[in-house]
Structure 1
Amino acid sequence: MRAYIITLSDKGYVNEREDISGKVIFEMVTKNGYEVVNNIILPDERTLISNLLKKICDEDEADLILTTGGTGLSKRDVTPEATKDIIEYEVPGIAEAMRYNSLQITKRAMLSRAIAGVRKNTLIINLPGSPKAVKENLEFVIDELSHGLEILKGSASECARK
């Protein structure tokens, strides 16, 4: 499966902050057998983000898009809105599971506005911006993503456990 990583950070985009979260995602997905097709940094600009997400999905560049950053309460945090602008449907269980797991670690997890959704044959998941939170959230869901992607792509048809 192909993964595309997008870090949303105004400071990272202008090289005022190192992108550690994108590196954490890269290490985790490659360790789990994904091919990373791109790993980029963008500023927190809603139209820019939604246009890129749409292009990746519509041109079938990746099976999974993982974003990091822009999911908090700052006025510049627009990742969930940019994602909602282009998805066909949400997959709320992924974001709910990540928040549930994170709440066991910190009450601040309730402040996350991250979402997950699908456009065409691509699953998009918003992750938090902090490297620690990225690791904790992705660790909790990564094992189930391959099955979800197989269902989405039509290569698996059964969800029932035996």
Structure 2
Amino acid sequence: MNASARLVRSHPDELLIGLVSVSDRASAGAYQDQGLPALREWLGTALASPWQAVDRLIPDERAGITRTLIELVDDCGCDLVLTTGGTGPARRDVTPEATLDAGTREMPGFGEQMRQISLRFVPTAILSRQVAVIRETAEHAALIVNLPGQPKSIRETLEGLKGDDGASLVPGIFAAIPYCIDLIGGPYAETRPEVIAAFRPKSARRAPQA
């Protein structure tokens, strides 16, 4: 598709998603990107309402990352943008800075929760610098969230942790994303509760369809 082509909803509640994998080596063809397929696979299992996504595989360059995020929101019309990669302490890891450059408001709770989830597995989770922001224009707003680079960590961060009985131990960040998108004027996204139960206050829930 044209880099700036606007996505068209096939349904009023269709969620438009931008997926961005940030990697010097994968974008140069040195190895196969794993982030974008992992994101698509997880969204396919988790979302119960319509969605479509557009992919970007780009190098670790701050200005280019910011430009891509702005394009996906302003030009393509995405409601949600998920990035993977480039959030560690290495000098080439500039995704958080680029994301803050694209945002109009920071949403610090997402980064805090992602690190809490990852700390259940590895102490090096404190080295992760993922951020989330809202980008607003006069006509549109979108949520942009940085995710880890590894497919297993992507799933754990989005889905959270469950006990042997299937009960939630630590909520995944995606539980809060549909309501956040509601609040910024986006479509009403629904999830499959066996994967991740989207949380909304009672006053914000739709009546079940007959």
Pairwise same-fold verdict (TM > 0.5): yes
Answer with 1 or 2: which has the greater Rg. Answer: 2
Please state whether the residue corresponding to 2:176 is helix, strand or coil: helix
2:33 corresponds to: 19
Distance 1:115 1:2, change over 3 A: same
Cα RMSD over matched residues?
1.8
The answer to whether the aligner puts 1:132 opposite 2:166 as a matched pair is no
Q: Is the 8 A contact 2:79 2:186 kept in 1?
A: no
C-alpha distance in 1 between matches for 2:134 and 2:186? 14
2:206 corresponds to: none
1:91 corresponds to: 107
2:22 corresponds to: 8
C-alpha distance in 2 between matches for 1:26 and 1:45? 24
Q: Percent identity?
A: 34
Measure how far apart 1:112 and its partner are.
0.4
1:29 corresponds to: 43
Detail structure 1 runs of 4+ shifted over 6 Å in the superposition.
Answer: none
C-alpha distance in 1 between matches for 2:26 and 2:187? 37
Q: Higher relative contact order at CA 8 Å, sep ≥6: structure 1 or structure 2?
A: 1
Q: Quick check: which one's helix share is greater?
A: 1
Measure how far apart 1:160 and its partner are.
4.2
| Uncovered stretches (5+) of structure 1, i.e. residues with no partner | none
Structure-2-length-normalised TM-score: 0.71
Encode CA deviations 1:21-77: one digit per residue, 9 max, x unaligned.
Answer: 221111111223362321221000111110111122222521100000000011100
Distance 1:155 1:40, change over 3 A: closer
2:90 corresponds to: 74
Please state whether the residue corresponding to 2:88 is helix, strand or coil: coil
Please state whether the residue corresponding to 1:153 is helix, strand or coil: coil
Measure how far apart 1:116 and its partner are.
0.3
